[in-house]
Amino acid sequence: MDFINIFIKTAFIENLVLSYFFGMCSYLAVSKTVKTAFGLGMAVIFVLAITMPINWLINEHILTEDVMGMDLTFLRFILFIAVIASMVQLVEMVIEKFSPALYTALGIFLPLITVNCAILGGSLFMVSREYNLMESTAFALGGGFGWFLAVVALAAIREKIRYSNVPPALRGLGMAFILTGLMGIAFMSLMGIDPAALGQ
Amino acid sequence: MSKLAENIKKLDPGKKESPFLHTLFDGFFTFLFTPNHTTDESGVHVRDGMDLKRTMIHVVLAMQACYLFGTYNIGHQHFVAIGEYTGFLEGIHLKLAYGLVKLLPIFIVANVVGLAIEFWFAAKKGHGIEEGYLVSGALIPLIMPPDIPLWILAISVAFAVIIGKEAFGGTGMNILNVALLCRAFIFFAYPTTISGDEAWVAGLEGFAAGSPVDYSWWQTGFFNGIFENLGWATYNASAVVVDGYSGATPLILAANGNSFAAEGTLAAAGGWEAVTSVYSPLQMFWGAIPGSIGESCKPLIIVGILILLSSKIASWRIMLSMFLGMMFTGMIMNAMGTSPFMTVPWYYHIYMGSFLFAMAFMATDPVTASSTNTGKWFYGFFIGMVGMIVRVWNPAYPEGWMLAILFMNVFAPLIDHMVLDANISRRLKRAKKSVAESVSVEQTMVEKVH
């Protein structure tokens, strides 16, 4: 039950983009068309779902004092980033080997996931909220799905307003910022729901 | 008539001399007269007297009944709170006059601020005034609490029109419903004025028993003077709030329980028992309950729905699917039944709050809804689901439809995109199949010939 609760909570109620403003840079840059947004969203889900359990294992079994005999938590950031970067490299190579079509469709956006703060942010949330392995996997899937949903919705809206008579100063990024704010208002509708309390 | 039109036309200050005045003139001229443009010899299209104003005016007509009842209900709720004229028709002149004093300033501020911004942007962009604000300006007063401070209303209208609409390029381009965005802005920026027990009944200094009423010159001077001369009942400035009155709406009662009920009873816990301990179902159906100005009277909203459906302005698909979504989610909640609010039978959710009003006037907004027919089914169904989830499961907000519709407004373009993609791939498949079939038929024919 905890698995589903955390999934729903991170996907809809505490959306990584729209309530924490994580992963803003690629969110704004890649949301011009639905097709690329879809590809990047899928890649983010995939990388999050792989790196967070690995980071959890590293955090629990390598960095803690009682395992290694000394406190290595100061290495947390660098290790997490190293894991994320290597995982993205690995995913890139696997996709290039087995699905060249998808690889070319994603293009530069695949390596860009390395610097997506939603991924590192997810791992750091996992530490500060003291999730176990199952919970952090749920958080990874939910957070990735929420990010995916937000970026695809923004891309669809931006495709729709492409031919609108937007004031010249706001065209492009300006409109994307306003849209993100308005989407944040819409997503506030679910804020405050506690999925864990519903089952009782 | 044509002479009159020509004389009025002479008043046009000219586009070059004064763009703003020209826009103003043009807006009112086309409001009074149908443009009589005809297709010239080179054109192939047929011009028609119907324009966007016809669509807009139908919606405005459909909500007139809600305005009438809203005016009455502002006054009625006020007098129920102080325990005078609690009958439906008693003191009706006092109630209507009281409602007018509250509703008219709201209407004027909402329209003056919105239209001024609309005019200014039209003059800036150098084209005619767009009619879009007619409907928003008529809807906004209906979704406000009667005691909303006018400066808050002015700020939120300006926010909704500038950020929600003009930034996107004006009428027909907005992503979020303008009226709902205006309400959501107040809801998040000034929450105490638009939610809670004490927002929905006007003209009281407090809600504790014995609090005095808060009358202005309009009641004690203007209308009392008229009513005295006519020999009718007048406003009693020394009236106080009666015992056991909280002003809570049915939704607040269902979520939090009746605070005056005895400890440990069902009514104190919430759910339908708590609602019926204060309001009868018939009373809720006819709308004599506190709430936003236009949302309460269900029969009159149904009249509006019939006008919208018979003139084919609103989409029946969205209305029906929103109803189905609400029914489906309500039934699941009834089956789970773990909190008092969740045990409220799903059909009673129509009686409480603004479900019908949102379904009739807000969800069907053709600009912000999905525009494909298949998409409309999904769009409406998800509004029904999200609205019920927010209403019942979200302790932070008593009512869900405003936020549910805004939530689905964000996803409407995505739904459209997916429907279009599905159509394209389906037709591509069909085309490939028919090509393959015709090829195989040709081959068999060739074989027969040989």
pLDDT digits over A101-133, tens only? Answer: 778 877 777 787 888 888 888 888 888 888 888
Residue B45: strand, helix, or coil: coil
Chain A residue with the nearest C-alpha to that of B333: A198
Q: Residue A122: how many CA atoms within 13 Å on its side-chain side? A: 40
- Which of B166, B410, B419, B425 best probes binding to A when mutated, by most A CB atoms within 10 angstroms? B410
What is the reported pLDDT for B47? 66
* Nearest CB neighbour to B417, from listed A156, A183, A189: A156
Structure confidence at residue A145 (pLDDT): 94
Q: What is the pLDDT of residue B141?
A: 94
Hey, what are B258's tokens? Answer: 């009746």
Q: What is the pLDDT of residue A68?
A: 67
**Contact at CB, A178 and B167, closer than 8 angstroms:** yes
A63 pLDDT tier (thresholds 50, 70, 90): confident
Give the integer Cα–Cα distance in Å for B307 and B61.
8
Residues forming beta bridges with residue B240, ordered by sequence position = B212
Residue B36's pLDDT band, with cuts at 50, 70 and 90, is: low
The secondary structure of B54-78, three-state, reads HHHHHHHHHCHHHHHHHHHHHHHHH
Closest to A23 (Cα-Cα) out of A93, A90, A84, A103: A84
Cα separation, A36 vs A50, whole angstroms: 21
Instruction: Tell me the C-alpha distance between A149 and B415, whole Å.
Output: 12
Q: What's the pLDDT tens digit per position in B172-231?
A: 888 999 999 999 999 999 988 888 778 888 888 888 888 888 888 888 888 888 888 888
Size of chain B in residues:
450
Model pLDDT, residue B419? 95
The answer to whether B184 contacts A185, with C-beta atoms less than 8 Å apart, is yes
- Residue A13's closest chain B neighbor by CA? B394
Cα B165 to Cα A178: distance, rounded to the nearest angstrom:
11
Residues from chain B that touch A153, judged by Cβ atoms under 8 A, are 410-411, 413-414
Angle at the Cα of B31 (from B27 to B33), degrees rounded to 5? 115
Q: Do A190 and B390 touch (CB under 8 A)?
A: yes
pLDDT top residue among A154 and A109: A154
pLDDT at B9 over 80: no
Of B218, B223, B242, the C-alpha closest to B234 is B223
Q: Would you place residue B1 in the very low, low, confident or very high pLDDT band (cuts 50, 70, 90)?
A: low
Tokens representing A3? 């698995």
Q: Could you say which of B168, B176, B390 has the minimum Cβ distance to residue A161?
A: B168
Cβ separation B389–A200 shorter than 8 A: no
Q: Is B224 helix (H, G, I), strand (E, B) or coil?
A: helix
CA neighbor of A149 nearest in space, from B358, B407, B350: B407
In angstroms, the Cα distances linking B340 to A78, B171, B259, B271 are 50, 43, 15, 4
Q: How many CB pairs under 8 A join A and B?
A: 99
Residue with tokens 């020509």: B6
Q: Which of A165, A186, A191 sits opposite B409 (nearest CB)?
A: A186
User: 3-state DSSP helix/strand/coil percent for chain A, to nearest 5?
Assistant: 80, 0, 20
What value does the mean pLDDT take over residues B347-354?
89
Summarised one tens digit per residue, pLDDT across range B59-91 is 888 889 999 999 999 999 999 888 888 888 888
The per-residue pLDDT for B325 is 95
- The string of pLDDT tens digits covering residues B354-379 is 999 999 999 998 889 999 999 999 99
Of A57-61, B353-357, B414-418, minimum mean pLDDT range: A57-61
Whether B182 contacts B140, CB under 8 Å: yes
**pLDDT of A86 above 60:** yes
**In chain A, which residues have their Cβ closer than 8 Å to the Cβ of B369?**
none
> Where is average pLDDT lowest: A146-150, B29-33, B309-313, B440-444?
B29-33
Provide CB contacts within 8 A for B66, sequence distance 6+: B142, B294, B295, B297, B300, B301, B304, B357
Is A189 close to B176, i.e. CB distance below 8 A?
A: no
Cβ–Cβ gap A157/B410 under 8 Å = yes
Q: What is the pLDDT of residue A91?
A: 82
Give contacts of B175 with chain A, Cβ < 8 Å: 157, 160-161, 179, 182
Largest Cα separation within chain A, whole Å, is 64
Query: pLDDT category, A43, cuts 50, 70, 90?
Result: confident
Q: How close B446 gets to chain A, by Cα (Å)?
A: 39
Q: Give the SS3 label for residue B44.
A: coil
Q: What pLDDT does B123 receive?
A: 82
Contact residues for A153 (Cβ-Cβ < 8 A; gap 6+)? A183, B410, B411, B413, B414
**Given this model, what pLDDT does residue B50 score?**
60
Q: What are the chain B neighbours of A191 within 8 Å (beta carbons)?
A: 394, 396
pLDDT in tens, B91-116: 888 999 999 999 999 999 999 999 99
Q: Which of B414, B415, B419, B424 has the most A C-beta neighbours within 10 Å, making it the best mutation to test the interface with A?
A: B414
Q: How far is residue B382's CA from residue B401's CA, in Å, rounded to a whole number?
A: 11
**Mean pLDDT over residues A41-65, rounded?**
87
Percent of chain B with pLDDT over 90: 39
Contact residues, chain B, for A156 at CB < 8 Å: 411, 413-414, 416-417
Query: B315-340: per-residue pLDDT in tens?
Result: 999 999 999 999 999 999 999 888 88
- Identify the contact set of chain B against chain A, taking CB-CB distances under 8 A: 125, 163-164, 166-170, 173, 175-176, 181, 184-185, 188, 338, 386, 389-390, 393-397, 400, 403-404, 406-407, 409-411, 413-414, 416-417
Task: Give the pLDDT band (50/70/90) at residue B272.
Answer: confident
In Å, how far is A186's CA from the nearest CA of chain B? 5
pLDDT at B142: 93
Task: Report which residue type is found at B298.
Answer: K
Nearest residue, CB atoms, B410 vs list A183, A190, A200: A183
Structure tokens belonging to residue A153: 């919705």
**What mean pLDDT is reported for chain B?**
86
Tell me the percentage of chain B whose pLDDT exceeds 70: 96
Q: Which residues of B324-340 are buried (b: 16+ CB within 10 A; e: fewer)?
A: ebbbebbeebeeeeebb
Inter-chain CB proximity A160 and B168 less than 8 Å: no
Give the DSSP H or E segment for B420: helix B401-449
Asked if A159 and B417 come within 8 Å (Cβ–Cβ), the reply is: yes
The verdict on a CB contact (< 8 Å) between B167 and A167 is yes
> Is there a contact between A182 and B176 if contact means CB atoms under 8 Å apart?
yes
Nearest CA in chain B to A193: B394
If you average pLDDT over residues A82-88, what whole number do you get? 90
Q: How many CB atoms sit inside 10 A of residue A171's CB? A: 13
Measuring CA to CA, how many Å separate B139 from each of B134, B181, B220, B380?
9, 12, 30, 20
Alpha helices for B126-218 (secondary structure H)? 133-142, 150-164, 178-189, 217
Q: What interface predicted TM-score (ipTM) does this complex get? A: 0.89
- Whether the pLDDT of residue B52 is over 80: the answer is no
In angstroms, what is the C-alpha Rg of chain A? 18
Residue of B nearest to A181 (CA): B163
pLDDT per residue as tens digits for the range A156-188: 999 998 888 888 888 888 999 999 999 998 888
